[in-house]
Amino acid sequence: MNDQDAFCAAAAALLGPRGFTQDEDLVGPWLTDWRGRYHGAALALASPESTQQVSDLVRLCSQFNIAIVPQGGNSGMSGGATPDTSGNAIVLSLRRMNAIRKIDTAGGETGDNNGMSGGAGGKALCEAGVILQSLHEAAEARAMRFPLTLGGKGSATIGGLISTNAGGTQVLRHGTMRAQVLGLEAVMPDGSIFNSLTPLKKDNRGFDLKQMLIGSEGTLGIVTAATVRLLPAIGGRVVAWAGLASVIDARKLLVHCEAQAADILEGFEIVPDECLTSVLDHQPDARSPLDARYPWYALVELVAQPDQYDALYQRAEDILGSAMEAGLLEDAAIAASESQAEAFWHLRDSISAAERAIGPAMQHDISVPVELMAQFVDQTVAEVEARFPGTRAHAFGHLGDGNVHFHVLAPAGAVAGEWELAHGRQISMFVHDRVTSWGGSISAEHGIGQMKRDELGRLGDPVSLAMMRSVKHALDPKGLFNPGKLVPTGPA
């Protein structure tokens, strides 16, 4: 019996048949990311049912030098949950640990994130495998809400969202996942259990280990549970779709909305007209909210306190009216119903799918300082299209976060697969170079994973990279936690 066999026998004994399998039919689906871009190999799929089992399994892996790729909903965008092809790793699924252990809605305030944010609310103690949608539903059933959502909410898990510091469409007001985590539990590479689940609003007992683990993509620790904050449910929302002359005007409209309604502004997304065209072409049922077409659109969401919906509607009309008087927008439509609000959002959320139907594209998830994003888009779209003739560059998304999805579409007639291979790397390097020169980030919300690790190594600040390598080596000296992800290899 070789070492891998001995490990598998011990792990099977530890976790039982529901917790450990080498059956290729069961393991296979988890060796490819959901977009089918990354493919790996694994000895087995481990699905522990408790933090203690995770800890015991990690100790076993350490003993046998088996690498561990933690996985939640397998809905990441950067290959962070797909093992490499060496076959000396297990996939450690947290999906069986899906209990919401406790929801606390009592009390007028929340113990919070070591002083990160204040406000009324409650909290939920979730195991890592709780699916985002389940948390939303559990909160809603108690007249609360969890203030983070994103497209993959039906599969993304709390553990995965924490490990990747996920963003989404509510970051503008409520912050990324980092701001939602009040307490954390994780298993470290030596099998020890880091327990910081009890929320304290103030705690100055040393380094902020919790924040160090959030966003570390499973390279430092495996998140097993978390206490997250909940907010009171809203009393309704008003969603508006505004037609704009330019992306610079979108920035001005954002400033206008922030100045007048920072307390209720939950979303501010931008969409260029070409993206709207793609969506309308792709979805026969979709309709443009405005009769005329404009170069850019802004999708604005304002939310009401309970019982204040009518006042909100009036306020939204005032804000948009004054914006139009100031020449910041050309025309605007306010959704007349919740289903129309959904339809407005659906236009925004359908862009990626619509563009995939057109043909190949290189996609980039980037940020620059919020106040520079409109200029960045204006300038960089032109630069990319000039540098790579025939391509079209589309930037859409979270203008209020200084984060857009910057897609570069292939020239008409390009063959999917071939075009990316021939031009993709060059295009992405060009975009990332521009982002870096604007002081921005090559990963705003999707993480580094395996997709951007080399780019991070190429463009990252050498001091930061050295610090990351030192911390990684200190906490995971054998390098068994999610190898090949996030942390670029060092200088030779």
282 binds a copy of itself (CB under 8 A): no
176 binds a copy of itself (CB under 8 A): yes
The window from 61-69, 214-222, 280-288, 328-336 that contacts a copy of itself (CB under 8 A) reads: 214-222
Size of the site for a copy of itself (CB under 8 A): 94
Of 148, 129, 152, 146, which is closest to residue 77 (Cα–Cα)? 152
Q: How near is the Cβ of 131 to a copy of itself at its closest, in Å? A: 21
Q: How near is the Cβ of 198 to a copy of itself at its closest, in Å? A: 4
Among 28, 29, 115, 490, binds a copy of itself (CB under 8 A): 115
Q: How near is the Cβ of 116 to a copy of itself at its closest, in Å? A: 5
Q: How near is the Cβ of 109 to a copy of itself at its closest, in Å? A: 4
224 binds a copy of itself (CB under 8 A): no
Element (H, E) at 272: strand 265-272
Q: How near is the Cβ of 259 to a copy of itself at its closest, in Å? A: 4
Please tell me the distance from the alpha carbon of residue 153 to that of residue 120, in angstroms, as a whole number: 24
User: The tokens 């790793």 sit on which residue?
Assistant: 89
Among 314, 379, 437, 470, binds a copy of itself (CB under 8 A): 470
Residues 414-453 touching a copy of itself, rule: CB under 8 A, are 439-448
The window from 293-301, 343-351, 388-396, 465-473 that contacts a copy of itself (CB under 8 A) reads: 465-473
Please tell me the distance from the alpha carbon of residue 133 to that of residue 398, in angstroms, as a whole number: 21
Among 129, 243, 400, 483, binds a copy of itself (CB under 8 A): 400
Please report, for residues 148, 171, 275, 443, 444, the alpha-carbon distance to residue 165 in angstroms, rounded to integers and kept in the order given.
Answer: 11, 11, 27, 11, 10
The window from 43-51, 125-133, 256-264, 312-320 that contacts a copy of itself (CB under 8 A) reads: 256-264
Please tell me the distance from the alpha carbon of residue 97 to that of residue 275, in angstroms, as a whole number: 39
158 binds a copy of itself (CB under 8 A): no
Among 1, 336, 412, 463, binds a copy of itself (CB under 8 A): 463
Q: Which two tokens stand for residue 473?
A: 């080596």
Burial class (CB in 10 A: 0-12, 13-18, 19+), 252: middle
Binding mask 298-337 for a copy of itself (x = CB under 8 A): ----------------------------------------
Among 12, 138, 203, 458, binds a copy of itself (CB under 8 A): 203
Please report, to the nearest 10 degrees, the dihedral formed by the alpha carbons of residues 109, 115, 116, 119 taken in order: 20
Please report, for residues 122, 133, 139, 179, the alpha-carbon distance to residue 147 in angstroms, rounded to integers and kept in the order given.
Answer: 12, 12, 10, 10
Among 40, 152, 160, 167, binds a copy of itself (CB under 8 A): 167
188 binds a copy of itself (CB under 8 A): yes
Among 8, 11, 131, 220, binds a copy of itself (CB under 8 A): 220
Reduced to 3 states (helix: H, G, I; strand: E, B; else coil), residue 156 is coil
Reduced to 3 states (helix: H, G, I; strand: E, B; else coil), residue 320 is helix
Residues 1-60 touching a copy of itself, rule: CB under 8 A, are none
Residues 78-97 touching a copy of itself, rule: CB under 8 A, are none
Nearer to a copy of itself, 354 or 373 (CB): 373
Please tell me the distance from the alpha carbon of residue 194 to that of residue 206, in angstroms, as a whole number: 14
248 binds a copy of itself (CB under 8 A): no
Q: How many helices (DSSP H) and strands (DSSP E) are in the chain?
A: 18, 17
CA distance between the termini of the chain: 36
What does residue 245 show for φ and ψ, rounded to 5 degrees?
A: -80, -25
46 contact partners, CB below 8 Å, separation of at least 6: 11, 15, 19, 20, 57, 90, 91, 92, 93
272 binds a copy of itself (CB under 8 A): no
Residues forming a β-bridge with 441: 367
Amino acid identity of residue 157, one-letter, is T
Contact 70, 94 (CB under 8 A): yes
Among 136, 201, 282, 387, binds a copy of itself (CB under 8 A): 201
Residues 119-138 touching a copy of itself, rule: CB under 8 A, are 119-120
Please report, for residues 116, 179, 232, the alpha-carbon distance to residue 167 in angstroms, rounded to integers and kept in the order given.
Answer: 16, 10, 20
Q: How near is the Cβ of 111 to a copy of itself at its closest, in Å? A: 4
Please tell me the distance from the alpha carbon of residue 48 to that of residue 92, in angstroms, as a whole number: 8
Q: How near is the Cβ of 218 to a copy of itself at its closest, in Å? A: 12
461 binds a copy of itself (CB under 8 A): yes
Burial class (CB in 10 A: 0-12, 13-18, 19+), 227: buried
Nearer to a copy of itself, 93 or 114 (CB): 114
208 binds a copy of itself (CB under 8 A): yes
Q: How near is the Cβ of 303 to a copy of itself at its closest, in Å? A: 13
Reduced to 3 states (helix: H, G, I; strand: E, B; else coil), residue 236 is strand
174 binds a copy of itself (CB under 8 A): yes
Q: How near is the Cβ of 203 to a copy of itself at its closest, in Å? A: 4
Amino acid identity of residue 236, one-letter, is G
DSSP state for residue 32 in the 8-state scheme:
B
Residues 360-379 touching a copy of itself, rule: CB under 8 A, are 367-371
Nearer to a copy of itself, 38 or 419 (CB): 38
Nearer to a copy of itself, 19 or 72 (CB): 72
Reduced to 3 states (helix: H, G, I; strand: E, B; else coil), residue 251 is helix
Residues forming a β-bridge with 1: none
Q: How near is the Cβ of 28 to a copy of itself at its closest, in Å? A: 29
